[in-house]
Structure 1
Amino acid sequence: MVSETAGAAAARVTIPDTPYTILEQPLGTESHVRIVTIGAGASGINMIRTLRTSLTNYTHIVYEKNPKVGGTWYENRYPGCKCDIPAHNYQYSWKPNPEWNSFFGSAEEIEAYFCGVVEEEDFGREIKTEHRVVQARWNEKGVWELRIEDLRSGIVFDDYCHFLLNASGILNNWKWPQIPGLHDFKGDLVHSANWPENFEYPGRKVAVIGNGSSGVQIVPALQPGNWIAPPSYKTWKSGKVAEILGSLDMDGENFTPKQIEKFKTSPEYYLEFVKAVEEQINGRFPMMLKDSERQAQAFKLLSIYMTTLLGNDKLLCKALIPSFAVGCRRLTPGPGYLESLTKENVRVVTENIARVVPTGIEIATGEVVEVDSLICATGFDLSFRPRFPVIGRKGNLQDLWTENLPRAYMSCAVPDFPNYFMFLGPNSAIGHGSVITITEHISRYICSIIQKCQTEGILSLSPSHAALSAYSEHIDAFMPRTVWSETCRSWFKNGKETGPVTALHPGSRIHWFHMLEMFRGEDFEYVYERGRFGYLGNGFSTKELEGGEDKTWYLGTLGANN
């Protein structure tokens, strides 16, 4: 094994451990690697497909803690749960579904989509459900030593991998709010991300704590301040997308059978529709810049929209229409939410909660609001800390990101944690748009790195501290330009009103996609199996071996116009 080290400015120095010998294999030979992915949500499922189309000579296993795949769409089952991205853009580019029922897909429909993908593509043979990773420890022999718990039997066993991919997601480690006396409540205590299957709420007096995206969806579903936006397709008034959307055959929010059939029978029209919607979504970034014209327009129009839906009720408008910039918190389409708050059987309580008592909620005025059920739509652990010990060269990532800000190189890798990559890590491009296209890009990026290691004799690699420091410097300098850094309580800032923006990328989605097109090898530190150029091997190339492709490809392709 040969190691290479690098200082902030010094060149890498190769230190051979043994006399150099020729590796008796042709250039291009792919060494075998074992890959473990944690989580079978959108990212983990897509990784199976990307590996199959990108690599050879590997084994791959996905450990999923839940009984079924789907991640957040398996876990979130509360009434009214929907995605805030149009359904036809919340799907894999390689697995289009022209049969979505409505413009925004329900949790049930999205979960069924993911389960269908796994079944149709035979991904299940790489997935072990009800298995939880409980520890990962790096070994300088080039492997991650894993401890896995079989949740059905309770047995804990050992496994290993050369590359550990954490696809456990951002919004899946739900937490109770820090309210005194919460667990003294004698009625039904429910978290939106852990909704009981047989929870009976009709006829009960129900309190919902929180008006983020989950609360905004729950309230109108239970009813027979965040910025609330109209469904996006109703605001696109010009251009190609408006023309296409104007021709859609809709029944309210749902596509008619006639429209679905048109999607199914006309792939070109269907793709044109999907691309037009995607272009509109990608175009939202200018609104996220402080003091921009787009921001001012959005603030004015959404204020009017919310005021109208609240029936011009001055008290409700004062309590619910934000003073902070549009986009400081993730913009939420909430059909029926504001209208629900104006109903006679709904009370909006804006006073601070002092404590929870056995019969209800005591607010700051001293009044006790008695309720039968208490629903906490209060979010998740947003620290980015892994849910289990990930022990690298110099300690546990849990501790590192407890004592310091969560920082990751291009959102996916961390110094001193070799061969460890994350999906949707700190500062990824999740401020607007579909997470599905984001995970497709990061999957390809990770696969390109793994293939480089396979074919260039790299035992391990991780970003340098200097590279992460410089990347973080850029993030910190850019974020004050955005509305995300303004004063509002947001999961973009780990649930705080002020502070560094730890969740979002310093730029648009397209900016992030462009950034990941090329792997910057100069930002990484390497450990080689037998020297920097050991992979050159015995002087032959896999491109000239028997059974290979065209051995004179460099002269052009027969039958093509070169």
Structure 2
Amino acid sequence: MASANASYSVLEKPLGSAKHIRIVGIGAGASGINMVRTLRNNLTNYEHVIYEKNDNVGGTWEENSYPGCRCDVPSHNYQFSWKPNPDWSNFFSPAEEIKEYLWRVCEEERMSDVIKTQHKVTGAWWDEARGLWDVSIRNLSTGEDFRDQANFIVDASGILNNWKWPSLANLDRFQGDLIHTASWPKNFDWADKTVAVIGNGSTGVQIVPAIQPDAKQLYHLIRTPTWIVPPRVMSMMMMGGPAQEILGEIEMDEMENFTPAQIKKFKTQPEFYEKFVKAIECDSNRFFPTILTGSPVQAFATEKVTQYMTACLGGDEKLCKALVPTFPLGTRRITPAPRYLESLRAPNVELVLDGIARVVPEGIQLTSGAIVELDAIICASGFDNSFSPRFPVVGRHGNVQDIMKQETPKGYMSCALAGVPNYFTFFGPNAPIGHGSVFTLTEHIARYVTRIIRKCQNEGIKAIVPSDAAVRDYSEHIAAFMPRTAWSAPGRSWFKGGKEYGPVTALHPGSRIHFFHMLEQFRGEDWEYVYDNASQNRFSYLGNGFSSKELDPNANTTWYLDKEAASARL
């Protein structure tokens, strides 16, 4: 009979003992804020700090303040399930209200002790021997650089956060106002000016109708058409979905602002409020079949959206040819954009389809040779969606920045990366970023990540990382699945890293419910472990034979006899 490992000894702690850990979070947008609460509700014996580069919390909603900025997800679903807000003024929340909501959540939940604003992470290096991350941080208010260390990093820096200028020759030579929508100057006045708006993504289609009435002349430069869908309330009523009935009871004006009486009803009738929220959520969850290539739902939706766009463009043959896409519905992000199409018919608006050759001091020179003289250039050119971190993240396989630039970005269920131990991401490669409210998604991701961290804390795991094989298999499934969707069809999209053709790197291979279901269970067989104990005995955490559940004087030590436990389903 084999003898016991001489180097192994029993850990003199009861089963369920949580070792002390330190967690460094990056970013205090919705994901980072929710992570604070999830950790508080589920962990003990830990430290948590979030480094946030901005002056305040809120992430993209703290940064984006351009005219017309609002969410394109219904307001009452664009909130934390644990922090309902019956005070939303509009069916689609204005940016300022979302920012104030996130500020209020942090204040009411007393999160300021965790979040350090004006602190920017500049690098992270994994130390295998210590099982720790060395993290470099810059205090932006003082210019001081310092180091921190962490057992775990939770990167919630966001996918729509790192804005970029368009790749235009001589952009810096322009002598007028040069503006990016994600860095909007507070005092910029576009009234009576000749302005160009570059880009027709979800930002461009919001800003054009917002500034058109007051601009002297507005040139809208686009490369690719985009699908503009009817107002969501109209669509929900027309399609006869789960929201149709309750929307008939909701009081809104023609701009979809809730009446004071309606807001009061939301506040005073919680059962009605919950019914409304769930009905809108249920309707939103029905979207996925729309992007399945060749499906009857997609064909029906395409026909209706084409009719809607044609009507909004007044049947203008030139505009319809330029703006109604020929690629499948969903190839680019489907966007509701009230008054956008109508604004393009205004006498002070000119749609420009010619390419941009270069920027000149007085404006933009087109590939035709013509020069468009301008007072201001507004770039709605989006963000860096490459998934490459903004700072060195050095794991077992080297710097993630280099890997992401050289290869197609790959991750594990959008939450972790191969070769990068104890590092978790919100909305990494192939996340459900186009699958509805980020708030609800981030709650599911936070619970999933927290369960993994708690496992490590309670089972003596020093380092945990998805295996290369698991990430490879997951990526293989994504590549095989995506051709079923409009996302992979030819057409320039940030879903494909801004390319016309290429792998879909930004979206989850399935529906919203599919993603939630996937994260319900932790697949331990997909992960590699390094244990705290020198002998690497995976059962060291069993300890001294006692359980923390019996040693706590306040614990219910016969919980297994409780009616709820006895009848619980697996």
Q: TM-score, normalised by structure 2?
A: 0.94
Q: Which residue of structure 1 lines up, in the alignment, with residue 168 of structure 2?
A: 179
Q: Decide whether the 8 Å contact of 2:66 with 2:207 is kept in 1.
A: yes
Q: Which residue of structure 1 lines up, in the alignment, with residue 276 of structure 2?
A: 273
SS of residue in 1 equivalent to 2:192 = coil
Amino acid at match of 2:201: G
Q: Decide whether the 8 Å contact of 1:27 with 1:536 is kept in 2.
A: yes
Amino acid at match of 1:89: N
- Measured after TM superposition, the shift of residue 183 of structure 1 is 1.2
Inter-partner Cα distance in structure 1 for 2:58 and 2:456 = 30
Inter-partner Cα distance in structure 1 for 2:293 and 2:17 = 51
Correspondence for 1:139 among 120, 127, 151: 127
Amino acid at match of 2:235: T
Q: Which residue of structure 2 lines up, in the alignment, with residue 545 of structure 1?
A: 551
SS of residue in 1 equivalent to 2:350 = coil
Change (3 A) 1:369 1:51: same
Q: Which residue of structure 2 lines up, in the alignment, with residue 243 of structure 1?
A: 245
Q: Which residue of structure 2 lines up, in the alignment, with residue 81 of structure 1?
A: 69
Inter-partner Cα distance in structure 1 for 2:60 and 2:298 = 30
Aligned pairs for 1:426-465 (under 5 A) are 426-465=429-468
How many residues align? The count is: 547
Residue by residue over 1:302-341, the C-alpha shift from the partner in whole angstroms, topping out at 9 and shown as x without a partner, is 1111111111111111111111111111111101111110
Inter-partner Cα distance in structure 2 for 1:277 and 1:407 = 33
Correspondence for 2:57 among 48, 66, 69: 69
- Measured after TM superposition, the shift of residue 559 of structure 1 is 13
Amino acid at match of 2:13: Q
User: Which has the higher mean CA deviation after the structures are superposed, 115-124 or 425-434?
Assistant: 425-434
- Measured after TM superposition, the shift of residue 180 of structure 1 is 1.1
Q: Which residue of structure 2 lines up, in the alignment, with residue 11 of structure 1?
A: none
Inter-partner Cα distance in structure 2 for 1:71 and 1:112 = 12
- Measured after TM superposition, the shift of residue 229 of structure 1 is 1.0
Whether 1:500 and 2:503 are equivalent positions in the alignment is yes
- Measured after TM superposition, the shift of residue 212 of structure 1 is 0.7
Q: Which residue of structure 2 lines up, in the alignment, with residue 36 of structure 1?
A: 24
SS of residue in 1 equivalent to 2:450 = helix
Amino acid at match of 2:60: T
Q: Decide whether the 8 Å contact of 2:241 with 2:283 is kept in 1.
A: no
Residue by residue over 1:377-424, the C-alpha shift from the partner in whole angstroms, topping out at 9 and shown as x without a partner, is 011111001100001122100011011111001111112110000000
Inter-partner Cα distance in structure 2 for 1:205 and 1:385 = 37
Q: Decide whether the 8 Å contact of 1:542 with 1:548 is kept in 2.
A: no
Q: Which residue of structure 2 lines up, in the alignment, with residue 230 of structure 1?
A: 230
Inter-partner Cα distance in structure 1 for 2:83 and 2:14 = 36
Inter-partner Cα distance in structure 2 for 1:289 and 1:561 = 40
Q: Which residue of structure 2 lines up, in the alignment, with residue 100 of structure 1?
A: 88
Q: Percent identity?
A: 59
SS of residue in 2 equivalent to 1:60 = strand
Inter-partner Cα distance in structure 1 for 2:321 and 2:28 = 43
Q: Decide whether the 8 Å contact of 1:329 with 1:489 is kept in 2.
A: yes
SS of residue in 1 equivalent to 2:236 = coil
Aligned pairs for 1:191-206 (under 5 A) are 191-206=180-195
SS of residue in 2 equivalent to 1:254 = coil
Root-mean-square deviation over aligned CA pairs: 1.5
Question: Could you list the runs of 5+ residues in structure 2 that have no partner in the other structure?
Answer: 214-224
- Measured after TM superposition, the shift of residue 99 of structure 1 is 0.5
Inter-partner Cα distance in structure 2 for 1:369 and 1:484 = 34
Give runs of ≥4 in structure 1 deviating > 4 Å: 557-562
Inter-partner Cα distance in structure 1 for 2:362 and 2:414 = 44
- Measured after TM superposition, the shift of residue 235 of structure 1 is 1.0
- Measured after TM superposition, the shift of residue 558 of structure 1 is 10
Inter-partner Cα distance in structure 1 for 2:301 and 2:201 = 19
Amino acid at match of 1:154: G
- Measured after TM superposition, the shift of residue 503 of structure 1 is 0.3
Q: Which residue of structure 2 lines up, in the alignment, with residue 55 of structure 1?
A: 43
Q: Which residue of structure 2 lines up, in the alignment, with residue 3 of structure 1?
A: none
SS of residue in 2 equivalent to 1:213 = coil
SS of residue in 2 equivalent to 1:31 = coil
Correspondence for 1:163 among 152, 158, 164: 152
Q: Decide whether the 8 Å contact of 2:242 with 2:283 is kept in 1.
A: no
- Measured after TM superposition, the shift of residue 561 of structure 1 is 9.6
Q: Decide whether the 8 Å contact of 2:21 with 2:150 is kept in 1.
A: yes
Q: Which residue of structure 1 lines up, in the alignment, with residue 264 of structure 2?
A: 261
Inter-partner Cα distance in structure 2 for 1:481 and 1:559 = 42
Aligned pairs for 1:109-128 (under 5 A) are 109-128=97-116
Inter-partner Cα distance in structure 2 for 1:229 and 1:317 = 14
SS of residue in 2 equivalent to 1:317 = helix
- Measured after TM superposition, the shift of residue 230 of structure 1 is 1.6
Correspondence for 1:190 among 179, 198, 201: 179
Q: Which residue of structure 1 lines up, in the alignment, with residue 142 of structure 2?
A: 153
- Measured after TM superposition, the shift of residue 352 of structure 1 is 1.1
Amino acid at match of 1:200: D
Inter-partner Cα distance in structure 2 for 1:558 and 1:350 = 64
- Measured after TM superposition, the shift of residue 164 of structure 1 is 0.2
Whether 1:376 and 2:384 are equivalent positions in the alignment is no
Correspondence for 1:391 among 388, 391, 394: 394
Aligned pairs for 1:341-420 (under 5 A) are 341-420=344-423
Amino acid at match of 1:498: Y
Residue by residue over 1:63-114, the C-alpha shift from the partner in whole angstroms, topping out at 9 and shown as x without a partner, is 0000010000011110000111001000000000000000000110100000
Inter-partner Cα distance in structure 1 for 2:181 and 2:150 = 35
Q: Which residue of structure 2 lines up, in the alignment, with residue 297 of structure 1?
A: 300
Change (3 A) 1:112 1:315: same
Q: Which residue of structure 1 lines up, in the alignment, with residue 311 of structure 2?
A: 308
Correspondence for 1:217 among 206, 213, 220: 206
- Measured after TM superposition, the shift of residue 54 of structure 1 is 1.0
Question: Could you list the runs of 5+ residues in structure 1 that have no partner in the other structure?
Answer: 1-14
Aligned pairs for 1:314-353 (under 5 A) are 314-353=317-356
- Measured after TM superposition, the shift of residue 233 of structure 1 is 1.4
Q: Decide whether the 8 Å contact of 2:122 with 2:138 is kept in 1.
A: yes
